[in-house]
Structure 1
């Protein structure tokens, strides 16, 4: 038997698998690396996070990724080169991190790599007739597998597209298995560059579960900071935005977009919500001369509003869902206070209350998806558009 398949066969029959989950988001702050011990599969999955770290990217590496990120005019040669370079960089960070943790590659069964999204183009966003939903994550899985010597499962989003989805968000598949609870309506709210959530009904009926993007999370705030405050990548603890005042005219213009009124599930990205979007909103509202603090405060209010509107669309204004937060936006006290004020009866927590470090959650979810690729049976999410009942990921062998 081929030695790779023999190794896979042995992994499939282990009572517990050690899986490294990787996540590099649109914020480009660094690589999240989560080492997970996973038992079972499907609703019987038991997962424990053994180690977690975020390795910051260098300024030069961020610059290289940004040169091709969310750009229609990206240099095709650089896209090709960065596909390999990102993978090699991630592999090096994994090996360094394993050494820091006192572990060796031979201990790890599988790496689950999300890759780096550089462009997201669902039909609802690109609007080009006769062309399908599309998305592109780079950071080739074969390069990671060969450099680390560890079987790597990568490129998860393409199967979602092939089965009729929009390629995002994928959190529904892991959230349902890890976090559903009988008798408790839950919203698993992730505030990354784009804000998204998974709805988990109290009756645990998988056919009612869905994940959806809702609109901008941190992306426009971070882009604005990087443009106007050299040396800063984000507004830490909302120190700048908290000194500003929300401008209602600008806020109204920011909230005027077809995507924000579209039905769930839906997906978007920085391809829509970016500084060009902000500039157009300022022109429409006559706020081009607005001071920077007020712009940031208004961008924060915009993110809060799209999240609040989406939750209220699911549950109503007087709803009392349990909302478990993750992602960088949960560290923004101004944003969190706006959410709590807008949903005073909701119970806000983080996934730490469910035993998962909220900063690690997305990396953990990809470890879980890899486990399902290996040993899981398909969970039936019904026939709803955008939530195909599938297993995802391509298996990349070390040799």
Structure 2
């Protein structure tokens, strides 16, 4: 027997696994690295976060990814090279982080690598029925496994698509296993580049849980400040706070057919990008609007889209609580706008549930990797429209 297969067998038979979750989102800001202990599986899953850090990408690496990110036409040699480069870069960041933590690679059972999303193409977004739903995350896991010496589970979204899903969002799986409450209906809102939420009905409910994309999170604001202010983000909403909301532009931004579609659904920067904004400005006659006013309007747009979605899901429910994670949690104007639109509902940091909100997504992929090894499709049978599958591909170090 291959010694690595034997090792994998022993890891699967442990009651607890030490898993390093890696997550890099559509904001392209860097790599989240979460060292987790994951106990048991399914409804018995328990997760404890040992260590967490977020390592920023350097500007040159970020620009290389942007060369293929959410673009229909790319240079194939660049894409091919980036698939390997992202894998090797993530492996190097893992090794450096473990060294800083004084943890040997041999003390980590698995790496759970999400990869770097570069294109998301469900049929509902593309309208192209010639191809099935598809999505692409680069960062080859064989490079990660070989360079770190740690068995790596990756490419989680493909099994979801193969089984009839859209490949996103996957948060429902981990959220359902870890955070379903006895007597509280929960909305776990994540505001990354794209905003999404998981709806977790209380355990006594006959309603099924589900996760769905909502629309833009930080992506439009980030793209706009990069183009107009040469900044990666509007830190603390310093620019948006100086602007005024333009109701004409806001109304057109809110008119996309995507927002009228039922849940669950997926989207990405392929739809919500600067072209979408400029088209809305042309329609609303606001192309000459001051940049600070555009940014203020984009901030309110994101908040309104989120509030509308939550209202839609919770309109007939009592005992609802919203818990927020992701980069948008750190945008004070965005959070103020969300709370103002949901004034009768409690909105809290996800940290109230006992887990660092910035680490949440990386931790959830550690849970998915745990399910790859020791889970069962029946563990998620109470998630609406979710393929009952265990996701992830396994790469051995040698």
TM-score clears 0.5: yes
The within-5 A match list for 1:1-399 is 1-203=1-203, 208-230=208-230, 232-316=231-315, 321-378=320-377, 379-381=379-381, 384-385=384-385, 387-399=386-398
Using the size of structure 1 for normalisation, the TM-score is 0.97
Q: Deviations over 1:314-369 (max 9, x none)?
A: 11299652111000001111111111111112111122111110000000000000
Post-superposition shift, 1:76?
1.1
Q: Deviations over 1:96-118 (max 9, x none)?
A: 00000001100000000000000
Secondary structure at the aligned position of 2:32 is classed as strand
Long gaps (5+) in structure 1: none
User: Separation in 2 of the partners of 1:383 and 1:211?
Assistant: 8
Distance 1:397 1:192, change over 3 A: same
Contact 2:208 2:383 in 1 (8 A): no
Post-superposition shift, 1:377?
1.8
Contact 2:173 2:380 in 1 (8 A): no
Distance 1:274 1:319, change over 3 A: farther
Contact 2:210 2:384 in 1 (8 A): no
What value does the CA root-mean-square deviation take over the aligned residues?
1.3
User: Separation in 2 of the partners of 1:322 and 1:207?
Assistant: 16
Secondary structure at the aligned position of 2:129 is classed as coil
Runs of 4+ in 1 over 4 A off after TM superposition: 204-207, 317-320
Post-superposition shift, 1:43?
0.9
Distance 1:234 1:383, change over 3 A: closer
Contact 1:39 1:45 in 2 (8 A): yes
Secondary structure at the aligned position of 2:245 is classed as coil
Task: Report which stretch shifted further, 178-187 or 311-320.
Answer: 311-320
Secondary structure at the aligned position of 2:72 is classed as coil
Secondary structure at the aligned position of 1:9 is classed as helix
Contact 2:209 2:384 in 1 (8 A): no
User: Separation in 1 of the partners of 2:25 and 2:299?
Assistant: 19
User: Separation in 2 of the partners of 1:211 and 1:350?
Assistant: 18
User: Separation in 2 of the partners of 1:146 and 1:171?
Assistant: 28
User: Separation in 2 of the partners of 1:260 and 1:62?
Assistant: 30
Using the size of structure 2 for normalisation, the TM-score is 0.98
Long gaps (5+) in structure 2: none
Task: Report which stretch shifted further, 373-382 or 212-221.
Answer: 373-382
Distance 1:370 1:227, change over 3 A: same
Secondary structure at the aligned position of 1:208 is classed as coil
Distance 1:370 1:204, change over 3 A: farther
Post-superposition shift, 1:382?
5.1
User: Separation in 2 of the partners of 1:260 and 1:199?
Assistant: 17
User: Separation in 1 of the partners of 2:16 and 2:252?
Assistant: 51
Provide the aligned length of Structure 1 versus Structure 2. Answer: 397
Contact 2:213 2:265 in 1 (8 A): yes
User: Separation in 2 of the partners of 1:361 and 1:384?
Assistant: 22
User: Separation in 2 of the partners of 1:40 and 1:190?
Assistant: 26
User: Separation in 2 of the partners of 1:351 and 1:318?
Assistant: 20
